[in-house]
Amino acid sequence: MTEIMKYEAQQRLKGTLTLLVVVSFYLALLVWLFPSIEAAGPSFEEYAQALPESLQAAFAIESITTIEGFLAAEIYQFIWILMLGLYVTYLGGGLIAGDIESGRIDLLLAAPVSRIRVVVEKFGSLLVPILAINVLMPVVVLAAVLSIGESLPAFDLVVLHAFSVPYLLLAAAIGLFLSVFFDRADIPQRAGLGVLFALFTLETVTYDTDIEWVGALSPTRYYDPAAILVDGEYDVAGALILLAATLLLVIASAEWFRRRDV
């Protein structure tokens, strides 16, 4: 019953392996830069305090001279929330529209398989890169941190990556939702990038303003790496909200694709 997901997952193995190698190398390089950042602590603290509060909150740079704050600001706020979020949104944007554009969807739907199953299993294949990077990267980060003589709570690091799964799933679901509306993959892929970046910006610019409540529309409101690494706070409710939003988008995508003409 999961033949589509297995096939799609196998097609993602090469790309996932490349992603793991590139991100691992980049993360290690960033961690090895931390001693120089720590040595220039007063200068960085002055720089952080000079920035608007919204930017300080968005990139968690107020604690950048600690290893926890450095990781939150330089790795997780930027790479995980923004770059990986955009990456999986882009992948989601090509799930259905890409097959429609190539004509492969006709062959797929000619088999005794429902459209809802096609959508769900294609989305499920994105668990390969999402889970793989969140299983391997804690090991890479912890090893890099230990190699420079620093320490990091391993449990907090594991929780951080576990809580990133709902966030990345929602980012992918945004791409999927856009994908079922178009017959060309590049349109939902570009639109998905724009939507996720706009939501990220929305949370940033509305921070500590009279319309801060608007930022509740952004997935980044419910996943805060700095709160986990620096403060040891776990937003379980936020993770559940992200999962619920993902489920709603997948259901809506499957229902729309079931009804539309291809």
The answer to whether 180 and 166 are in contact (CB under 8 A) is no
* pLDDT value, residue 108: 84
Given a cut of 80, is residue 151 above it in pLDDT?
Answer: yes
197, part of any domain: yes
Q: What is the pTM of this model?
A: 0.90
Number of domains in the chain: 1
Given a cut of 80, is residue 235 above it in pLDDT?
Answer: yes
* pLDDT value, residue 34: 84
111, part of any domain: yes
* pLDDT value, residue 164: 95
H or E element that contains 257 = helix 236-259
Q: Is the dihedral of CA 248, 250, 252, 258 positive or negative?
A: negative
Among the listed residues 144, 123, 125, 124, the one whose alpha carbon sits nearest the alpha carbon of residue 23: 144
pLDDT band per the 50, 70, 90 thresholds, residue 45: low
100, part of any domain: yes
51, part of any domain: no
Tokens of 81: 């929330």
Given a cut of 70, is residue 55 above it in pLDDT?
Answer: no
Q: What is the DSSP letter of 71?
A: I
Mean pLDDT score across all residues of the chain: 87
Q: Which residues of 146-171 are buried (b: 16+ CB within 10 A; e: fewer)?
A: eeeebebeeebbebbbebbbbbbbbb
Domain ranges, residue 207 = 3-33+71-259
66, part of any domain: no
Give the contacts of 258 (CB within 8 A, at least 6 positions apart).
114, 115, 116
47, part of any domain: no
- In whole angstroms, give the CA distance from residue 132 to residue 148: 25
Q: What is the pLDDT of residues 90-124, one digit of tens each?
A: 999 999 999 999 888 888 888 888 899 999 999 99
192, part of any domain: yes
